[in-house]
């Protein structure tokens, strides 16, 4: 089987764009062999788009406009030049109360707007310890429309903790997620992915890339993860 094209995505969260992000040799630019997406803070979307970077929103509302102070819509992201959007990142679920149903509606609105959404799923530490990982991701995925083409498995306990899932733990959940999907889909891993663990994680047969937070803010580190991915294409 030919390998699905690897996708390496940077989620800068609520941080400024790293210095040099728009340089000619920036690792945030699409590489011939692999896909690279960047998810900046909303205020930095325009400068990423004008730098020719494949850009996405970190969240978007399903309504196209209206009285929703502080929000941006999927159609606005598209009009601003975005290609993608994150839906249901665990930080949105936690700090903004986004439910599985709301995430499913966002994904549908994103597709309707012409964006490629990345739906984020993943269990908390207590859910894993209680043996509920598969149940949790199954429920999260059951709310998504079948057209979803990229899912990020991000175990909540691995995000920003420096404690990545092992390659075996991640592969197990990715393979399970694949059994739940009707259509072909890329399934990328997120949660303390870094230079040291990138090769092993990205070599797993059901891991089609990474969604990277902390290490994407360090341009050298991100560069070396992109280079690793390129060798595995």
Rounded to the nearest 5 percent, the helix, strand and coil shares of the chain are 40, 15, 45
181 burial via Cβ count (<10 Å: 0-12, 13-18, 19+): middle
Residue 123 half-sphere exposure toward CB, CA atoms < 13 A = 21
Q: Is 191 in the site for ligand 13P (CB under 6 A)?
A: yes
Q: Is 40 in the site for ligand 13P (CB under 6 A)?
A: no
Q: Is 96 in the site for ligand 13P (CB under 6 A)?
A: no
How many Cβ atoms from other residues are within 10 Å of residue 166's Cβ? 13
Nearer to ligand 13P, 75 or 226 (CB): 226
- Range in contact with ligand 13P (rule: CB under 6 A) among 69-77, 92-100, 143-151, 186-194: 186-194
Whether 96 is a known active-site residue: answer: no
Nearer to ligand 13P, 60 or 190 (CB): 190
Residue environment code for 198-215, b if the CB has 16+ CB neighbours within 10 A, otherwise e: bebbbebebbbbbbbbbb
Q: Is 74 in the site for ligand 13P (CB under 6 A)?
A: no
Least CB distance to ligand 13P at residue 122 (A): 9
Nearer to ligand 13P, 104 or 122 (CB): 122
Q: Is 11 in the site for ligand 13P (CB under 6 A)?
A: yes
Number of residues that bind ligand 13P (CB under 6 A): 14
* CA 145 – CA 34 distance, rounded (Å): 26
Residue nearest to ligand 13P (CB): 213
- Host H or E run for residue 86: strand 84-87
* CA 4 – CA 206 distance, rounded (Å): 9
Q: Is 160 in the site for ligand 13P (CB under 6 A)?
A: yes
- Range in contact with ligand 13P (rule: CB under 6 A) among 62-70, 122-130, 169-177, 209-217: 209-217
Interface with ligand 13P (CB under 6 A) = 11, 89, 154, 159-160, 190-193, 211-215
């Amino acid at each position: 089987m030919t390998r699905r094209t690897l996708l390496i995505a940077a989620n800068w969260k609520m941080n400024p764009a790293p210095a040099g992000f728009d340089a000619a040799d920036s690792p945030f630019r699409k590489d011939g062999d692999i896909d690279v997406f960047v998810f900046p803070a909303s205020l930095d979307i325009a400068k990423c788009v004008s730098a020719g970077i494949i850009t996405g929103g970190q969240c978007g509302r399903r309504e196209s406009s209206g009285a929703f102070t502080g929000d941006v819509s999927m159609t606005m992201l598209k009009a601003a030049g975005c290609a993608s959007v994150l839906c249901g990142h665990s930080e949105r679920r936690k700090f903004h109360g986004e439910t599985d149903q709301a995430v499913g509606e966002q994904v549908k609105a994103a597709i309707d707007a012409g964006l490629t959404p990345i739906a984020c799923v993943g269990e908390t530490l207590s859910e894993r310890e209680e043996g509920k990982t598969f149940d949790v991701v199954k429920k999260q995925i059951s709310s998504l429309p079948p057209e979803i083409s990229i899912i990020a498995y991000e175990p909540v306990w691995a995000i920003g903790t420096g404690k990545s899932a092992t390659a075996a733990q991640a592969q197990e959940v990715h393979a399970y997620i694949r059994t739940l999907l009707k259509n072909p889909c890329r399934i990328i891993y997120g949660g303390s992915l870094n230079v040291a663990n990138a090769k092993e994680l990205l070599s797993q047969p059901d891991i089609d890339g990474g969604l990277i937070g902390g290490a994407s803010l360090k341009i050298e580190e991100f560069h070396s993860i992109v280079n690793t991915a390129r060798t595995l294409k």
